[in-house]
Amino acid sequence: MPECQLYISLAILFTILTQFVSSQKPSFTCGVKDSIHLHKFNFTELSSSDITIYDQSEGENITLRLCSPLSQTCAGSHDYSICLRKQGTEVGLGKFPPLLVNNHTSMFNFTGDLCSNSRNYTVLIVMKCDYTAIDTTSPQLIPKGKDDQCTTYFIWNTKWACNEAVKANCTVVDDRNNLYDLSSLTAYKNNYVVDIGGKGNLTMNINVCHSVIHESGSECYGTAGACLEVHSNDSSNPKYINYGEVNHPLTINNGNLEIVYTSGHLCKDETEDSLWTIITFICDPEATEHTVPEYKNNTSCKYEFVWKTSLACNKTYLKQNAAKCKVTNPRTKFTYNLEVLMNSDVTTNTSDGTQYKLQICGSLRDSKCPKGTGVCNTKDSISVGMANGNLMWQHGGPYLNYTNGAICENGQNHYTLIAFVCGAEGSTGSPIIVKKNTCSLIIHWYTSLACENKLTCVEKQTNLLPLIQTSKNYVAKGMDTEFHINICRPIVPTPGLACPPGSAVCQAVRTSEGQYTNETSLGFPDEKTVLLDNQNVILNYTQGSPCPENPQKNLSSSFKFSCNYNGDHGSPEFENYSNCHFSFIWKTNIVCGTLIGVWVPPCVVQDETHVNKVDLSLLYPKPVPRIVAGTGKNYSISICGGKDHCNGSAVCQGTNGYGTITNVMFDYDNKAIKLLYGNGSKCSNKVYTSELSLICNDSVGIDNGPKLLLDANCMASFEWHTKIACPSEVPVLKSGTSNDPVSTTETTPARESLWESDAAIQTWAIVSALFLVTVVLIAWFYMRNPRWCFDLRYRISAITASRNHSRVQYSRVNTTEEAHLLLDTSDPCGDGQIDSDDELLGV
Ligand SMILES: *[C@@H]1O[C@H](CO)[C@@H](O)[C@H](O)[C@H]1NC(C)=O
Ligand SMILES: *[C@@H]1O[C@H](CO)[C@@H](O)[C@H](O)[C@H]1NC(C)=O
Ligand SMILES: *[C@@H]1O[C@H](CO)[C@@H](O)[C@H](O)[C@H]1NC(C)=O
Ligand SMILES: *[C@@H]1O[C@H](CO)[C@@H](O)[C@H](O)[C@H]1NC(C)=O
Ligand SMILES: *[C@@H]1O[C@H](CO)[C@@H](O)[C@H](O)[C@H]1NC(C)=O
Ligand SMILES: *[C@@H]1O[C@H](CO)[C@@H](O)[C@H](O)[C@H]1NC(C)=O
Ligand SMILES: *[C@@H]1O[C@H](CO)[C@@H](O)[C@H](O)[C@H]1NC(C)=O
Ligand SMILES: *[C@@H]1O[C@H](CO)[C@@H](O)[C@H](O)[C@H]1NC(C)=O
Ligand SMILES: *[C@@H]1O[C@H](CO)[C@@H](O)[C@H](O)[C@H]1NC(C)=O
Ligand SMILES: *[C@@H]1O[C@H](CO)[C@@H](O)[C@H](O)[C@H]1NC(C)=O
Ligand SMILES: *[C@@H]1O[C@H](CO)[C@@H](O)[C@H](O)[C@H]1NC(C)=O
Ligand SMILES: *[C@@H]1O[C@H](CO)[C@@H](O)[C@H](O)[C@H]1NC(C)=O
């Protein structure tokens, strides 16, 4: 009896589920066949979940799923695969299913709601092969054109868009046992493209030890290593000619590294039967980064290319001829060139008076140290490193590592690190010994030659440039350590403080002897790091030393600047450390800027934050207007005068009123309060206006009297030095806690729709659960009679079996399992009783 009940319930559940699922999903194959090569592309892996892409330029989110409808509703419907969300509105950009075509490149074409003028939204997702894009990547949004707001383009770099590759051995050993490895030249997402003949109608696509990447512009049949694209004069489609398959390993021929690709297209020439390509690699020790093949010549059946690269040099030769004193930042491709520092011996002293002589990228000319020495301790004539020109790069700048100095106490050789740090404009600078360890020396050299780009330190109206230090770092204390800090620049070199060169924040421990140890970088002044967050300015430094708690992460730090009206430039204070991030706060007057104020009758001005309030009636111990003498005329000024004075104007000259209050400004940068008056009496074809600046001046007391600055063009300007314009000691601005009302209203609607869809799913689940329980209960009553049970089993078997047939291509594995379950249930209709309700619920 329990088995029967189990079996019946399973069968019913199965029936319901298949019906539900089949009613939900229109059939769509998440893959496509290559139009010529019959390769099958399968994009299923990319469609496992909804992906949201934030379009910063439009301030909108696009959520998409390639091969099924989104899991959330969009614009109230479950039909969309692509949804645009912006400020609470939802637009269906693409309905499921898309059109998937492969015309050399796989492309998904979605159509959505009406966009404009009887055009619907369309979304085109071009799938581009990238053998290295292995994990689930996300598509890249191509910015919309101004004239077409209805079409959205994405490019999705993924390995799922790649053909099967053919590879060849890319290493070879010559007869003198030198190993060469060209595998770093293999392209995994963009072929090398060589223009032939300069007319633009012939281009050769090449890859190294790997078949060319099949994409638009390189559509050769087969697994070519070289593919020629031929454009004819008329506008017909280009032709693609296979100039050789990847079928030979890298070889050495006449002392040169060589790759040949043979067995391409048929060649009409009688001497050879197929097209082929030969690439010769020539040693060029200076050609390290980003070299490309060059066209040499061709016959009717063969193309020849040469490729200059340091990878074709033997190690001995490379060492002797390495690019001297140059290095390229691999991320930005910026090349540092320190050649101008070469060829002169420089001396520098440590704080304890030891003198060192050194030469950049070359050996010392005049020293008592062994020949080839790069840094020499002149007192003992000990080499602390042999010279080399092998400039290297690390985050923060280029550096040299002079190794193999004299044997040291620890049995190893002395070495010296010379790191170059971005320094003042136009300076070649000089070396500073920041650390002298027993067996190594660390030298920092500040020079503008090491500057790649300097952080501007300016964002909108905020300018942190005045905070940059050039002679002494800011120092804050916390966590029993010291923080040496500069703003938007590397820290100022400090003897004894050997932080990773170029760091903007250096954390160090002070020993009881006052020495610095355990120097750690809390970040570098990279790229754009100043941002505005409500009323705070935030400066972030990232990519510091590895985080002790989580070595996968790097330490970072941020500075939150807040306005201190009454203060000076201020200095940083350590706030806290959490999650590999150090936070500092910095109260300073330089981020105060200008705030709008209001006039509060009878005679008070207040800034918009209401923290600064000034009673201007203090300027008028006696309620009489102040008189200012101009050339030939007198002005009477009565700030608090109200209606009684000159028809309401604060400034009056004769019968001309110079206007009533229109604006109050608190200019904290200049410590002044500006009163602007407008709508005065008529002045030729304009009206009189005026301006009065109350300027903070502690030394003059309350009243130094107003002065005329200018009277021209119906406008008069005055200034008045007074203590009352000085900002009172006030607390800092309210900090930018995220109670920004705008962002709240933006996100709420999106969340609501999410809840709606959740609610819909829940409703469905409850209804179906109730239904299931009812059916099972009925079945249970029915099955108390074994004969009825048998009968029922027979009927349900018939139904599910026929379903199995019609659903075979839908889910083969599941249905056969189900069929097994049906057949193997040995005694489904035994006369056992159901023991407890748990079994029912357990289904
Ligand atoms: C496509 O890939 C998925 C998962 O990677 C697999 O389940 C499915 O059978 C594949 N489809 C075809 C037609 O090969
Ligand atoms: C876009 O999505 C992100 C993360 O899901 C969310 O924080 C942000 O508010 C969304 N923006 C819009 C405009 O919907
Ligand atoms: C394939 O693309 C070419 C040009 O890129 C075009 O001329 C041709 O019509 C396309 N074929 C199909 C079937 O879309
Ligand atoms: C275009 O959008 C309208 C309105 O949403 C819709 O009714 C129509 O089916 C769409 N056209 C296509 C081709 O999808
Ligand atoms: C490639 O060829 C070299 C010798 O030319 C050989 O030592 C190496 O094992 C080969 N590598 C592979 C992966 O076959
Ligand atoms: C292609 O055009 C160029 C000039 O535009 C002409 O000289 C040449 O003969 C043309 N070639 C063919 C094959 O039509
Ligand atoms: C191509 O250049 C190579 C090397 O310069 C030369 O040996 C070969 O004869 C040239 N071939 C033609 C067809 O000019
Ligand atoms: C070089 O190749 C082009 C086209 O691939 C062909 O037209 C030309 O005749 C070839 N040159 C020689 C010398 O065969
Ligand atoms: C390295 O290459 C250079 C020039 O190509 C050659 O003169 C030298 O003999 C080679 N050295 C070794 C050890 O192979
Ligand atoms: C410099 O060379 C020494 C000695 O070979 C080595 O221990 C050290 O790690 C190197 N430092 C850097 C930054 O390359
Ligand atoms: C300095 O670093 C070492 C190892 O990196 C560590 O053992 C030591 O505790 C640190 N000293 C201080 C004072 O943090
Ligand atoms: C800057 O740091 C703050 C505080 O850790 C962080 O919330 C913010 O995301 C950071 N901004 C950038 C651009 O890294």
434 vs 473: CA distance, rounded Å: 15
Task: Say which residues have a Cβ less than 8 Å from residue 175's Cβ, sequence separation at least 6.
Answer: none
User: Which domains are delineated in the chain?
Assistant: 34-161 (2.70.130.10), 171-318 (2.70.130.10), 332-450 (2.70.130.10), 458-588 (2.70.130.10), 594-725 (2.70.130.10), 786-840 (no CATH)
Task: With beta carbons less than 8 A apart as the criterion, state whether 638 and 658 touch.
Answer: no
Mean pLDDT of 522-539: 74
The whole-number pLDDT of residue 808 equals 25
- What DSSP string runs through 150-194? SEEEEEEEEGGGPPPP-B---EEE-TT--EEE-GGG--SSS-EEE
Task: With beta carbons less than 8 A apart as the criterion, state whether 187 and 131 touch.
Answer: no
Mean pLDDT of the chain: 79
736 vs 489: CA distance, rounded Å: 26
Type of residue at 125: I
Ligand 1 centre to CA of 31 (Å) is: 8
- pLDDT-based confidence at residue 817 (cuts at 50, 70, 90): very low
What is the length of the chain? 843
- Ligand of minimum distance to the alpha carbon of 509: 11
Beta strands across the sheet bearing 397-402: 392-394, 397-402, 415-422, 440-447, 431-436
Ligand 10 centre to CA of 827 (Å) is: 76
CA terminus-to-terminus distance, the chain: 15
What token pair was written down for 207? 């890859």
Ligand 8 centre to CA of 680 (Å) is: 85
Query: Does residue 622 register a pLDDT over 50?
Result: yes
The whole-number pLDDT of residue 780 equals 54
Neighbouring C-beta atoms of residue 153, cutoff 10 Å: 17
The whole-number pLDDT of residue 795 equals 41
- pLDDT-based confidence at residue 461 (cuts at 50, 70, 90): low
522 vs 529: CA distance, rounded Å: 14
Sign of CA dihedral 569, 570, 575, 578: positive
Give the pLDDT confidence of 679-707 residue by residue, as tens digits: 888 988 888 999 999 998 888 888 778 88
Neighbouring C-beta atoms of residue 684, cutoff 10 Å: 7
Query: Does residue 144 register a pLDDT over 70?
Result: yes
The whole-number pLDDT of residue 804 equals 34
789 vs 780: CA distance, rounded Å: 9
Mutate to test the pocket of ligand 10, among 384, 415, 435, 439 (most ligand atoms within 8 A of CB): 415
Query: Does residue 833 register a pLDDT over 50?
Result: no
More reliable by pLDDT, 738 or 422: 422
Q: How far is CA 590 from each of CA 529, 571, 724, rounded to the nearest angstrom?
A: 18, 12, 20
237 ligand 3 Cβ < 6 A: yes
Mutate to test the pocket of ligand 4, among 80, 113, 115, 122 (most ligand atoms within 8 A of CB): 113
Ligand 7 centre to CA of 299 (Å) is: 9
More reliable by pLDDT, 233 or 392: 392
Nearest CA to ligand 8 atom 11: 299
The atom number, within ligand 9, closest to the CA of 283 reads 5
The whole-number pLDDT of residue 167 equals 92
Nearest CA to ligand 5 atom 4: 172
Q: Dump strand ranges (E) for 473-568.
A: 474-478, 481-485, 505-510, 516-521, 530-533, 536-541, 556-563
Mean pLDDT of 450-461: 75
265 vs 243: CA distance, rounded Å: 6
Ligand 2 centre to CA of 59 (Å) is: 9
Q: Which of 36-45, 372-381, 592-601, 763-772 has the lowest mean pLDDT?
A: 763-772
Query: Does residue 740 register a pLDDT over 50?
Result: no
Residue found under tokens 């940059």:
468
613 vs 610: CA distance, rounded Å: 7
- CA-CA-CA-CA torsion for 774, 775, 777, 778, nearest 10 degrees? 120
Query: Does residue 4 register a pLDDT over 70?
Result: no
299 ligand 7 Cβ < 6 A: yes
Residue 366: exposure state from Cβ atoms within 10 A (0-12, 13-18, ≥19) = exposed
Type of residue at 274: S
- Quick one: how far is CA 633 from the chain centroid? 63
Query: Does residue 61 register a pLDDT over 80?
Result: yes
Helix (H) or strand (E) holding 636: strand 634-637
Residue found under tokens 């400090």:
494
What are the helix (H) ranges across 662-740?
none
Mean pLDDT of 286-298: 78
Instruction: Ligand 9: list residues with CB < 6 Å.
Output: 176, 178, 283, 314, 316-317
104 vs 86: CA distance, rounded Å: 35
Give the pLDDT confidence of 469-497 residue by residue, as tens digits: 888 999 999 999 999 999 988 999 888 89
What token pair was written down for 820? 């097994």
- pLDDT-based confidence at residue 532 (cuts at 50, 70, 90): low
Query: Does residue 291 register a pLDDT over 80?
Result: no
404 ligand 10 Cβ < 6 A: no
Give the pLDDT confidence of 443-455 residue by residue, as tens digits: 999 998 998 877 7
Query: Does residue 733 register a pLDDT over 50?
Result: no
Helix (H) or strand (E) holding 240: strand 239-242
298 ligand 8 Cβ < 6 A: yes
Mutate to test the pocket of ligand 12, among 537, 538, 543, 579 (most ligand atoms within 8 A of CB): 538
718 vs 674: CA distance, rounded Å: 10
What φ, ψ does residue 20 adopt, rounded to 5°?
Answer: -60, -50
Type of residue at 422: C
Residue 155: exposure state from Cβ atoms within 10 A (0-12, 13-18, ≥19) = middle
Helix (H) or strand (E) holding 752: helix 741-783
Nearest CA to ligand 7 atom 8: 297
Task: With beta carbons less than 8 A apart as the criterion, state whether 641 and 757 touch.
Answer: no
542 vs 582: CA distance, rounded Å: 10
835 vs 39: CA distance, rounded Å: 57
61 ligand 2 Cβ < 6 A: yes
Task: With beta carbons less than 8 A apart as the criterion, state whether 499 and 479 touch.
Answer: no
408 vs 335: CA distance, rounded Å: 35
Query: Does residue 819 register a pLDDT over 80?
Result: no
